[in-house]
Amino acid sequence: MTLPRPPLAALALALLGGCGARPAVPPESAAAFVGRVSTELEAANRENQSAGFVSETYITPDTQALAAQANERYLTRLGAAVSASKRYAGQPLDAATARALMRLRLNVSAPAPADPQKRARLAELAAALDAKYGAGKYCPAGGRPCLNLDELSKILASSRNYRELLEAWKGWHDVGASMRADYVEFVALANEGARELGFRDLGVLWRAGYDMPPEQFDREAERLWQQVKPHYAALHCYTRVQLTRKYGPDKVPPGQPIPAHLLGNMWAQSWGKLYPDLLKPYPQAKVENADAQLVRQHWDATRMARSAESFYTSLGFPQLPPSFWERSMFTRPRDREVICHPNAWDMGTPGDVRVKVCLEPNDEDLYTIYHELGHVYYFLSYQAQPYLFRDGANDGFHEAIGDTVNLSVTPQYLARIGLVSAVAPSREALIDQQMKMALDKIAFLPFGRLIDQWRWRVFAGDIPPERYNASWWELRRRYQGIAPPLPRSEADFDPAAKFHIPDNTPYLRYFLSYILQFQFHKALCEAAGFEGPLYECSVFGNPEAGRRFRAMLASGAAQPWQDTLQQLTGTRQIDATALTQYFQPLLEWLRQKNQGEQCGW
Ligand code: X8Z
Ligand code: ZN
């Protein structure tokens, strides 16, 4: 598709239209319109990204105000573009132009109402919610120092003291309460914006980005959940047995949901921190993680990021530009408030890509930087696409790129880069390794599914503010089999203790990614000619896998994601069969191990 820009004078006349004596000006073609608004939006987006990056890496009232203003300007342009685009409704259009117009309406996660006051308020609320999350702290009584999320998360990960865990969990969750009123107002305004764009509510807009009707997409998500639910139930059963052993049946009763603060993670979304001392199936077998060597060899953040880069370059991706190294934030600064939640930024100027992370030398953060570079390489790969197609095939693809690479970060690969010692293969080592993976990949699935179950219903008005917290815990109980460790009420607002709620980032993307990444991994391993079991495959350095992967990334959002998926994997459906195959040895082990236990909740 070409995106020609009409001369401005011609455009002004076209807009005047009507019956005067002026010579008739041909109306702007749809393709020309797409070209013009793309250029305008691109400029507004650049400004928005700059203001956003500064405000998230330096939280002050000033940067918050500047971010709100830039966002407001972007939302204004987008609103104007979408309403102008309505004149092309029902007209015959070429496929690329029709797709660009469809995507125009989806180019936002919180659209604003046209009313300038409401728009300004929405932008202000969005910035305030972000800042409150980023600067959130728990200040214990008795003059002990306040703790931020990283510090509280470390307690959740390493302490095995029930009361200490409870204090850290409650300390952080109480930060959510201060965001409740803002969030209620934010939802009302963003919904109004979504309705003005022609959607029933914001949740419907979010679900419109999947190249199928939103209802069909709902059914797809449910089908996928049903595919993986038994795997989660098996892992939950094993984990609870171990936790009951550790904390006693009065604290962790069999047959009941697990208290949410005992799983090693603030949101109980991944459980890997329990692996070494509580969940490793064969305590004697030697499966190390990279923690010890990262510290011993003094890996700093740059070295971790360079290591990730070298994986991508081994697949034929280019080296990252110097500006990436100069402008990214790699560690938590000591002298200012920032949002440490990791993310990657496409600043909108060719080559200007960045990450914002707070790396520490540990295994988890090594995976994080490999994940974030997946986003960065996607940005760089689709840069040649027209503005409205510079995006993932769908948002699950964007999340799955770095994780696909991480599936190739096998123990053998880690040994090769000197971060673990080579392990002699054994049944025990395999089950241990699979358990470690499952505590991230399988434990996450219900969490990935439920966040937007909650939000879609909030946006639809089915969950009113006076039931925000109660319905949150109903879903957490139903999907994850966990329960709050303390009585919670509507004075609390626990959803806001999770970054993506105040930041308003859609979440089903991660659920999709956790399934898709196994499909991608399998396809790349096949392309590489690998013939062993999936869990042994690493495509590090394989040119053919690299070629296929790069081709997928380069197509961005220019075609329906089903086409992109088919090109890589030969199928048009997201499907958990590859995940199930990958974990076959562990699933069989769990089946036997759980026999005779009281599973479920
Ligand atoms: O937010 C993230 C990434 C940034 S896109 C670090 N993730 C989700 C989370 O932390 O909740 C990755 C896994 C799920
Ligand atoms: Zn991500």
Q: Is the C-beta atom of 342 inside 6 A of ligand 1?
A: yes
Determine the pLDDT at residue 22: 62
Determine the pLDDT at residue 295: 96
Which protein residue has the closest C-alpha to ligand 1 atom 13?
A: 510
Scored b (16 or more CB within 10 A) or e, 493-514 reads bbbbbbbbbbbbbbbbbbbbbb
Q: Is the C-beta atom of 562 inside 6 A of ligand 1?
A: no
Give the C-alpha separation, 544 to 561, whole Å.
Answer: 22
Helix, strand, or coil (residue 62): helix
Which helix (H) or strand (E) segment holds residue 482: the answer is strand 482-483
Mean pLDDT score of the chain, rounded to an integer?
94
Give the C-alpha separation, 391 to 403, whole Å.
Answer: 17
Determine the pLDDT at residue 15: 38
A 10 A CB-CB count for 326 gives 8
pLDDT tens digits, 86-95 = 999 999 999 9
- Identify which of 183, 224, 198, 215 has the alpha carbon closest to the alpha carbon of residue 458: 183
Which protein residue has the closest C-alpha to ligand 1 atom 5?
A: 343
- Identify which of 499, 503, 497, 471 has the alpha carbon closest to the alpha carbon of residue 176: 497
pLDDT tens digits, 178-234 = 999 999 999 999 999 999 999 999 999 999 999 999 999 999 999 999 999 999 999
- Identify which of 548, 542, 541, 547 has the alpha carbon closest to the alpha carbon of residue 523: 548
Q: Confidence band (pLDDT; 50, 70, 90) for 21? A: low
- Identify which of 509, 293, 315 has the alpha carbon closest to the alpha carbon of residue 396: 509
Ordered alpha helix ranges (H), 58-148: 61-85, 95-104, 116-135
Work out the average pLDDT over 117-121. Answer: 96
Tell me the CA–centroid distance for residue 359 and ligand 2, in Å.
Answer: 15
pLDDT tens digits, 226-266 = 999 999 999 999 999 999 999 999 999 999 999 999 999 99
Ligand 1 pocket mutation, candidates 510, 512, 513, criterion most atoms within 8 A of CB:
510
The answer to which of 24-38, 368-382, 479-493, 528-542 has the lowest mean pLDDT is: 24-38
Work out the average pLDDT over 103-123. Answer: 93
* β-pair partners for 356: 329, 343
